[in-house]
Amino acid sequence: MHESSIVESLIKNLEKKVLSENIYKIIKINLVVGETTGYMEESLVHYFESLPKATALKDSILQIKYIKPQLLCKKCNKNFERTRFSFECPDCGETGEMTKIGTEFYIDNIEVEI
Ligand SMILES: [Zn+2]
């Protein structure tokens, strides 16, 4: 259940932002999550809705955008999307190296009511 702690710290960060920027209400949170993290959308939303949080966050909508993992082929010097069972470059067949793409977890932006 690692989603509960990551959502807890997400809520804490948002609560800090609410206080420091005098935000009345957060309408929507656009979150970017890499698929490599393994965080499931339904779990993230579930914890976001069920964990205790400040009034400004009570009715906020958590919108999640998933990023597909990408590997780097050193031979072709380009990134390619990883498929489920293969790490091989679609052009030359070389085994790709992991990149940071697909490991994201950050707030892209929030929509607020002041
Ligand atoms: Zn290649």
Is residue 94 within 8 Å of 75, Cβ to Cβ? yes
> Which two structure tokens, joined as six digits, stand for 15?
């609560």
pLDDT of the residue at 1: 54
Residue 51 to residues 21, 43, 48, 55: CA-CA distances in angstroms? 22, 12, 6, 12
Q: Is 77 helix (H, G, I), strand (E, B) or coil?
A: coil
> Which two structure tokens, joined as six digits, stand for 26?
């957060």
pLDDT single digits (tens) 5-52? 999 999 999 999 999 999 999 999 999 999 999 999 999 999 999 999
CA of 96 to the centre of ligand 1 (A): 8
pLDDT single digits (tens) 86-105? 899 999 999 999 999 999 99
> Which two structure tokens, joined as six digits, stand for 25?
């209400």
> Which two structure tokens, joined as six digits, stand for 40?
């499931």
CA of 88 to the centre of ligand 1 (A): 8
- What is the reported pTM? 0.88
CA of 65 to the centre of ligand 1 (A): 28
